[in-house]
Amino acid sequence: MIKATYQQYILNFKQASGTSRGILRTKETYFLMLTKEGKKGIGECGLFRGLSADDRPDYEEKLAWVCDNIHLGLEQLLEELIEFPSIQFGLEQAFLSLEGNHPFELFPSKFSKGEKAISINGLIWMGDKSFMQKQIKDKLAQGFSTIKMKIGAIDFDTELNLLKSIRKEFSSDEIELRVDANGAFSAENALEKLKYLSELDMHSIEQPIKQGQWQEMASLCEKTPLAIALDEELIGVFSSEEKKKCIATIKPQYIILKPSLIGGFKGSNEWIEIASNHKAGNWITSALESNIGLNAIAQWTYTLNNPLPQGLGTGSLFTNNIESPLEVEKGSLKYNPHKDWKLSII
């Protein structure tokens, strides 16, 4: 018989991190622990306040309900939790962790054995010009060949000049540039801004306008000189019918999958299948989980065989992250089998 418990964990940022939604200093998350006949499993329910569809007053109540009803089994619980994507993801991880040969090897592969790495983008947080320039230099020195810059918090001209300064030094063959607007542009001026950005030979822009404006986003995707990737647009879209309608209406060039925000592996796989039917590419991004959730996302990501750089570089942002074998080296995420997990609750 399986027993389940949960525990809250507050992650502290090394430095306040800026997005167009504000400054982040802490990140709340929850660990779901399973035990059965002496074996243990763990998963992370990566609630993201202000962004998750399940940022609701009854979140902990639902976690307690899951622990009381764990006997229902994974499939039935996932159906019951359709409006709680981060708990769905925590459950998927916890069951895989419990059933595997090792609690932190959810998808055995050359990645989990430490033989292969995953190419990732270097993330540049919003801030003043000098702060962003320093981050860019640091990422390039660390060997990243893909840089993702969050834009929309300071004025557009300053951000554009920062991007121009990168392009003056590095061609698109040397450095691939991605930008993430987090919905900061207005529907009226977005196309004009995309034209300016496209002149810098960029890979793509994430979520140029706020989610929920399907017709406006569809128009942008049709006219854009720069590939558009949907991100927040996928959050809170629960049914298969709505997912199909979203992609068929907007026809994006890419979608970005954050398993904690869109129903874990099962929800992400459904989005990938629907998008691929409309010839839309994808990549995977973590959503500020601890190394517990990041490890699960990375191991699953490797099995997808997607050659694009992924967005899995958020593990080093916290002062009190769970010590793990995950390491970032030369623009890639790898699993070092010679390092141990340091987690007292498992």
Name the active-site residue from 27, 210, 243, 258.
Answer: 258
- 258 part of the active site: yes
The answer to whether residues 94 and 127 belong to one domain is no
The answer to whether residues 58 and 162 belong to one domain is no
Question: pTM of the predicted model, to two decimals?
Answer: 0.95
Give the CATH number, domain containing residue 189.
3.20.20.120
Whether 26 shows a pLDDT value over 90: the answer reads yes
End-of-domain residue from the set 99, 134, 156: 99
The answer to whether residues 81 and 221 belong to one domain is no
346 — pLDDT class (breaks 50, 70, 90): low
Give the CATH number, domain containing residue 12.
3.30.390.10
Q: Measuring CA to CA, how many Å separate 318 from each of 111, 246, 261?
A: 23, 34, 20
**Using CA atoms, how far apart are residues 93 and 45, in angstroms rounded to an integer?**
9
Q: What is the pLDDT of residues 278-291, one digit of tens each?
A: 999 999 999 999 99
The answer to whether residues 146 and 210 belong to one domain is yes
Whether 19 shows a pLDDT value over 70: the answer reads no
Question: What confidence score (pLDDT) does residue 344 get?
Answer: 73
Beta carbons of 130 and 320 less than 8 angstroms apart: no
Whether 190 shows a pLDDT value over 70: the answer reads yes
Beta carbons of 43 and 89 less than 8 angstroms apart: yes
The answer to whether residues 319 and 246 belong to one domain is yes
Question: What confidence score (pLDDT) does residue 137 get?
Answer: 86
Structural domain including 282 reads 118-335
Name the active-site residue from 139, 150, 243, 334.
Answer: 150
Q: What is the pLDDT of residues 96-148, one digit of tens each?
A: 999 999 999 999 999 999 999 999 999 888 777 788 788 888 998 899 999 99
The answer to whether residues 70 and 138 belong to one domain is no
- 193 part of the active site: no
- What's the number of domains the chain is made of? 2
**110 belongs to a structural domain:** no
**Using CA atoms, how far apart are residues 225 and 204, in angstroms rounded to an integer?**
10
**Using CA atoms, how far apart are residues 244 and 286, in angstroms rounded to an integer?**
23
The answer to whether residues 320 and 246 belong to one domain is yes
**342 belongs to a structural domain:** no
The answer to whether residues 146 and 212 belong to one domain is yes
The answer to whether residues 149 and 88 belong to one domain is no
The answer to whether residues 147 and 275 belong to one domain is yes
